[in-house]
Amino acid sequence: MGNNMMTKDPLLTRTVLEANYSDKDWHLPELAMSYDDLVWNDSTDVPTPEDIKTQYDIITSNRWKTQHADVRKALYPSVDELIVALWEKLVETDGLSSELIDSIQAQRLQIKTDAPKLASVEDAQTPIE
């Protein structure tokens, strides 16, 4: 794709600006027809069409890495699941203790008593006090 094509495709320009210049003061109207419609209000130098083309090529050539990372991240347990597992192992099973841990554990046990996990949809009808 030549630089001339880049200046005619505002979608490519918008992709790069959103990815690499989100902290800058710029505006590309929704109905922009080309790079020339870019309004650059930032004190830094405006990226040239050549800059945009180079950065777009980098973004698209690395897209597979981002997609793969997103898939991998979705396969991992959530942070909440990891924290609960660690807590249950270290505190409830191994007996790790401190004043703060004991206080948090007391709160957890009280919540388990006051608002136990639901076993059925009928359980959801009981209000939590």
Confirm whether 8 is domain-assigned: yes
Identify the domain containing residue 60 by its residue range.
3-75
Check whether residue 49 and residue 88 sit in a common domain.
no
Measure the CA–CA gap between 79 and 61, rounded to whole angstroms.
30
The first and second tokens of residue 2, run together, are: 């030549």
Measure the CA–CA gap between 42 and 46, rounded to whole angstroms.
8
Mean of per-residue pLDDT scores for the chain: 86
In the predicted structure, residue 128 carries a pLDDT above the cut 90: no
Confirm whether 17 is domain-assigned: yes
Confirm whether 41 is domain-assigned: yes
The average pLDDT across 58-74 equals 84
Check whether residue 8 and residue 52 sit in a common domain.
yes
Check whether residue 44 and residue 100 sit in a common domain.
no
- Domain count within the chain: 2
Check whether residue 7 and residue 70 sit in a common domain.
yes
pTM value is: 0.47
Give the residues across from 39 on adjacent strands. Answer: 27
In the predicted structure, residue 63 carries a pLDDT above the cut 90: no
- Which class for 105: exposed (0-12), middle (13-18), buried (19 or more C-beta within 10 A)? middle
Q: Give the orientation angle of helix 10-20 with respect to helix 49-75, to 10 degrees.
A: 60
Check whether residue 89 and residue 62 sit in a common domain.
no
Confirm whether 28 is domain-assigned: yes
Confirm whether 31 is domain-assigned: yes
Confirm whether 10 is domain-assigned: yes
| pLDDT score recorded for residue 3 | 47
Confirm whether 97 is domain-assigned: yes
Check whether residue 9 and residue 34 sit in a common domain.
yes
Check whether residue 19 and residue 36 sit in a common domain.
yes
In the predicted structure, residue 126 carries a pLDDT above the cut 50: yes
Distances (CA, A) of 92 to 20, 24, 66: 46, 49, 38
Check whether residue 66 and residue 83 sit in a common domain.
no
Distances (CA, A) of 40 to 58, 78, 109: 22, 40, 56
The average pLDDT across 37-49 equals 94
The first and second tokens of residue 96, run together, are: 């790790």
The average pLDDT across 84-102 equals 91
The average pLDDT across 21-29 equals 95
Confirm whether 128 is domain-assigned: no
